[in-house]
Amino acid sequence: MYDEEFGGILGIPTNPAERLSKVENRIERIIGRGVDTPRRKGRLARLMAVRDKLIAKTAARKGAALAAASIPGVAGGLASSGIRGMDVIEHEFSPEVIRQHNLEGAAQGLRQSSVAPPGSGRLVPIPFVVSGSVTPVHAVEGGSGAIGNLTSLETKPVNWAVLRIVALTTQTIAASTGVVGVMQDFKIGGSPNLFLDESFVLSDDYDTDKDQFAGLRAYPILISPNQAFVDVGAFAPAGQTLYTAVSLVTEVMRDDAFGPGLPGAYAR
């Protein structure tokens, strides 16, 4: 059957995009003729409901594809390419808002999903060193079945840039089995401890091999002459040594030579 006013019975193509296009064409045809009869209003309401379902199904498929792309180790995924700090952001209007905007002829509703990792080159690591030294790798002696003496580390002043703290990362190599690195009292200038735990945290939790940065209590701005400070130590069975390197990952907000930077996804 074919209806001169409303068109034929809605087909069921296998392609969801084609189905959605047919539905939208019929909605436009009805609105173009005017929604001034009960029959047209009923037909429009049914087509709107069908269209909302098709939009939701299409968005769900896209969301599943984006989620798969963010899983570590999935071939072709962003995480498998070594990008860290990934953030999936979604913005959408409800079907009611979409329907209202379309009927009033105003701006169309929007449903959007995007993967937004921090841009390459905007994250800059700064190594921690012992005061007065420039060596970024440290030999830390453990105790005997206990945590040994702590080594105090600091970043060198960066007086030509304004930086935002993004993360702390570590790399550790134990001289023998059973040696575990720990950290304590991570501060910026005279700030409170940026580790949530006031005692010790495990260095391995902040290792560079992790898929994502470990979180901090806050992400303050670092402006010279302020520096970052952290204490590192090692638990050992019998005084063995742990070799460790600790870096402060920052976002360059402004550079005196190169101007302002662009905020990354982690700052949202």
Supply the pLDDT for residue 51: 77
Query: In this structure, what DSSP letter does residue 112 have?
Result: E
String of DSSP letters for 240-252: -EEEEEEEEEEEE
Supply the pLDDT for residue 79: 41
Mean pLDDT per 10-residue segment, the chain (268 residues) = 44 66 80 77 81 72 56 44 41 52 50 49 85 93 91 92 89 85 92 91 91 87 89 91 93 77 51
Please tell me the pTM assigned to this model.
0.53
Supply the pLDDT for residue 119: 47
- What residue type is assigned to position 101 of the chain? H
Report the first-to-last Cα separation within the chain, whole angstroms: 54
H helix runs in the chain, sequence order: 16-33, 38-69, 95-104
Q: Assess contact for 241 and 180: CB atoms under 8 A.
A: no
Q: At what angle do helices 16-33 and 38-69 cross, to 10 degrees?
A: 150
Q: Assess contact for 185 and 231: CB atoms under 8 A.
A: yes
Distances (CA, A) of 52 to 38, 47, 85, 94, 178: 21, 9, 33, 9, 58
Q: SS3 of 23, please?
A: helix
Q: How many CA atoms lie within 13 A of 221 on its CB side?
A: 7
Burial pattern 61-93, b for ≥16 Cβ within 10 A else e, equals eeeeebeebbeeeeeebbbeeebbbbbbeeeeb
Supply the pLDDT for residue 73: 46
CA distance 73 to 148: 37
Question: Per residue in 208-226, pLDDT tens?
Answer: 988 888 889 988 888 888 8
Where are the CATH 2.60.120 domain residues in the chain? Answer: 123-267
CA distance 258 to 161: 9
Supply the pLDDT for residue 14: 59
Options 2.60.120, 2.70.98, 2.40.10, 3.30.70; which CATH number does 123-267 get?
2.60.120
String of DSSP letters for 175-238: SSTT-EEEEEEEEETTPPPSSSSSS-EEGGGGBTTSSSPPP-S---EEETT--EEEEEEEEESS
**Which of 75, 16, 79, 20 shows the shortest CA–CA distance to 50?**
20
Supply the pLDDT for residue 223: 86
Counting Cβ atoms within 10 Å, is residue 225 exposed (0-12), middle (13-18) or buried (19+)? Answer: exposed
